[in-house]
Amino acid sequence: MRAEYDPWAAYYDWIHQGLPGEAEFYILRALRRGGHTLELGCGTGRVCLPLAMSGGDVVGLDLSVGMLAECQEKRRLAGPLTGRLHLVQGDMRRFSFARRFHTIMMPYRTFMHLLTVQDQCECLTSVRDHLASGGEFILNLWAARPSVTTEQVRKTSTRFRLAGQYPVPSEGLLLRHFHRVRIDEAAQRLDEDHRIEEVNLMGSVQRRRLLHLDRVWVTPREMEHLLCRCGFEVSAVYGDFEERQITNDSTEMIWVAMRKN
């Protein structure tokens, strides 16, 4: 079965460059803790690859064969790693490894791809079952609060808007990214269409792709309830990757949790 991210693989690294300080935050925390790390939804390896290059022992799990192939190619280009990286195609809602991990991480709002409460709980239960004693689960997601979601609803659009432009010098291309978002407030769901245009040096569009993403938003209290229900104790919640407190202006929430004994 084709995963939602398969058609994204060729464009992902150009368009999704991550959040400020994000990769460094996860990498430093995992290296400090040591032992084995698992990244759920590792994608093209934006976090797990530099972690393995810095000496970490990492398993990267992702549903998308296309995203994993990109990661594999980057790993080949990186040459011998100081640490270890093992890539696995699988579903973060139900996974099974013979080992436990000292750090399990889910960067870049990946949790928002779990569309139902059942999916969220299955994933969290699998995480809890794979955490080593004293191990840490770290994830970040969009800090959905009424004022922020109202702003999103305002942006609901049936028309595509330009979201960004990205030069790809090696291909002599400019990628133009447009998107439109429909919001289902009751279901807390974002139904996103993305149009990517590959524009050549003459300014002509030589290829157009229509991609799709479905995500749900989670409020801070919901996240706390979910973690608690699935057997975690929250050790910290931050509003950014410099570990500042979450406030009414935070756009991200970063949760650090441990297994409740």
Where does this chain bind ligand SAM (CB under 6 A)? 3, 5, 41-43, 46-47, 61-64, 67, 91-93, 107-110, 113
- Minimum distance of ligand SAM from residue 172's CB (angstroms): 25
- Minimum distance of ligand SAM from residue 139's CB (angstroms): 10
Length of the chain as a residue count: 261
Q: How far is it, in rounded angstroms, from Cα 231 to Cα 128? A: 7
Q: How far is it, in rounded angstroms, from Cα 256 to Cα 32? A: 15
Cβ neighbourhood burial of 193 (10 Å; 0-12, 13-18, 19+): middle
Based on CB atoms, which residue is closest to ligand SAM, 142 or 199? 142
- Minimum distance of ligand SAM from residue 256's CB (angstroms): 17
Based on CB atoms, which residue is closest to ligand SAM, 199 or 238? 238
Torsion angle (degrees, nearest 10) of CA 73, 78, 82, 86: 0
Angle at 190 between CA 65 and CA 9, to 5 degrees: 20
- Minimum distance of ligand SAM from residue 22's CB (angstroms): 7
Report the SS3 class of residue 72.
Answer: helix
- Minimum distance of ligand SAM from residue 90's CB (angstroms): 6
Q: How far is it, in rounded angstroms, from Cα 110 to Cα 217? A: 11
The two three-digit tokens of residue 115, written as one number:
């569309």
* Residue 169, phi-psi category: left (phi > 0), alpha (psi -120 to 50), beta (remainder): alpha
Based on CB atoms, which residue is closest to ligand SAM, 101 or 199? 101
Based on CB atoms, which residue is closest to ligand SAM, 41 or 239? 41
- Minimum distance of ligand SAM from residue 8's CB (angstroms): 8
Q: Are 47 and 26 in contact (CB under 8 A)?
A: yes
Based on CB atoms, which residue is closest to ligand SAM, 106 or 237? 106
- Minimum distance of ligand SAM from residue 76's CB (angstroms): 18
Based on CB atoms, which residue is closest to ligand SAM, 26 or 199? 26
Q: How far is it, in rounded angstroms, from Cα 110 to Cα 255? A: 13
Q: Of 28, 120, 47, 142, nearest to 87 (Cα)?
A: 47
Based on CB atoms, which residue is closest to ligand SAM, 143 or 199? 143
